Amino acid sequence: MGNIRVLDLLGLSIKDLPVSFHNLTGLHVLHVDCDFLHLNNIALTPALYDLSVGKCKEWKWVNSKDGEEVVSTVSSNLKWFCLPSCNLNDDFFSAGFTQLTTVISLDLSRSNITFLPECIKEFHHLDDINVSYCKLLEEIRGVPPNLKFFKAIECTSLTSSASRMLLNQKLHQTRGTKFMFRGGSIPRWMDKENKGPSTSFWFRNKFPSKVLCLLIAPVLDDITSELVRPLVLINGKVQEYRLNSMEREVKMLELDHIHLFDLHLLPFREGLMEMYSENEWKHVQITYQGLFDTSLIKAMGIHVVKEERRGMKDIRYDDPYTTTKMFITSLPFLFCFFLALILFTSLMAYPTQV
């Protein structure tokens, strides 16, 4: 039994895994999709690093010997822990959950949990959480320190305090993030806010290393259940995505959702950092025009993270060329104004003798 590396249990009528299942010491990948199966940590075999359960009746943390709620040590190899549609409730976050600190991806979507526990802040390896369609989810009591990807689609009970925690500026400035969750407020730390379907900025020299974009709209990519990728233009030239990924259907959601993402995470064919324009200003436009009914957009926002060496001297949110043109155009007027001022001052200093 120790030679089995990958095991799929699909469509079986079994209700429990036997205690001897833990003897699969060489098992690395376990995929389960059994409607009536009651799962517990016996499934977490010593070498397991990928547990993916399509659906099951429940999950319990139990001791394999006597059935008490005392947990044996979870393997440090475990990286992917995915239990969507598994009828989970808040009991899932008991003592056993705290032993999942090695996982990098956690999927608890379509469950009955009402909160994410504070102890999840100790999950330093966790960078991807999916709690989509958890209709009862209200609270986010903690956020892993290295979280990059977070999905809470159609979590209709999510509180405003939970949204504020997910919009924490430090959380997004220190790493490349992609978050989707119910909400309708744009954070104050955004540099620029637009009500229309587009937003933009100007840069010169190197493309900024971190550009955070925000969209508030009741939309979703219908194929991938991800955020709707915008059209990005630099000096009017469309930045193409790989595999024609712009040609996608858009799904309508019941409520407004916040899409907050680092522009560099989008799958462009050419990296944005490869663009260089010494002393030449380039215009970057992010738009959803033509992708869906843009009247649904409540707001867009953009925030360019300040770099210590460069500062913000190479970033602008107004047209630098328009400002220059206005200055040049106004030179004749300014010349005449100052000439008249000099003449007036001279006349006042030496009044005409009557």
Query: For residue 147, what are the CA distances in angstroms to 44, 51, 110, 176?
Result: 24, 20, 20, 9
Q: Is residue 238 part of a domain?
A: yes
Task: Look at residue 21 and tell me whether its pLDDT is greater than 80.
Answer: yes
> How many structural domains comprise the chain?
2
pLDDT at 307: 80
Does residue 122 lie within any of the structural domains? yes
First-residue to last-residue Cα distance in the chain: 120
**Is 210 inside a domain boundary?**
yes
> Is the confidence at residue 179, as pLDDT, over 70?
yes
Q: Are residues 162 and 207 in the same domain?
A: no
Q: How confident is the model at residue 70 (pLDDT cuts 50, 70, 90)?
A: very low
In a domain, 325, yes or no: yes
The closest alpha carbon to 9, from 40, 36, 31, 39, belongs to 31
For residue 237, give its domain range.
187-330
Write the single-letter amino acid at 138: E
- The pTM for the full model equals 0.85
Residues 325 and 322: their CA atoms lie apart, in Å, by 5
Q: How confident is the model at residue 161 (pLDDT cuts 50, 70, 90)?
A: very high
Q: Residues 103, 204: one domain?
A: no
Of 34-48, 93-107, 340-354, the one with minimum mean pLDDT is: 340-354
The pLDDT tens digits for 205-264 are: 889 999 999 999 999 988 888 899 999 999 999 998 887 655 678 999 999 999 999 999
Q: Both 142 and 3 in a single domain?
A: yes
The verdict on residue 158 lying in a domain is yes
pLDDT at 327: 44
Confidence class for position 335, pLDDT limits 50, 70, 90: low
Whether residues 134 and 222 share a domain: the answer is no
29: domain CATH number is 3.80.10.10
Q: Which of 179-188, 269-278, 308-317 has the highest mean pLDDT?
A: 179-188
Q: Are residues 152 and 212 in the same domain?
A: no
Average pLDDT score over residue span 74-87: 90
For the stretch 141-156, pLDDT in tens is: 999 999 999 999 999 9
Do 233 and 127 have their domain in common? no
Pair 289, 196: CB distance under 8 Å: no
Determine the pLDDT at residue 174.
87
Specify whether 151 is located in the same domain as 249. Answer: no
Q: Is residue 350 part of a domain?
A: no
Instruction: Note whether residue 177 is domain-resident.
Output: no
Are 130 and 216 members of one domain?
no
On whether the CB atoms of residues 159 and 138 are closer than 8 A, the answer is: yes
Regarding whether 194 and 136 lie in a shared domain, the answer is: no
Residue 213's pLDDT is what? 97
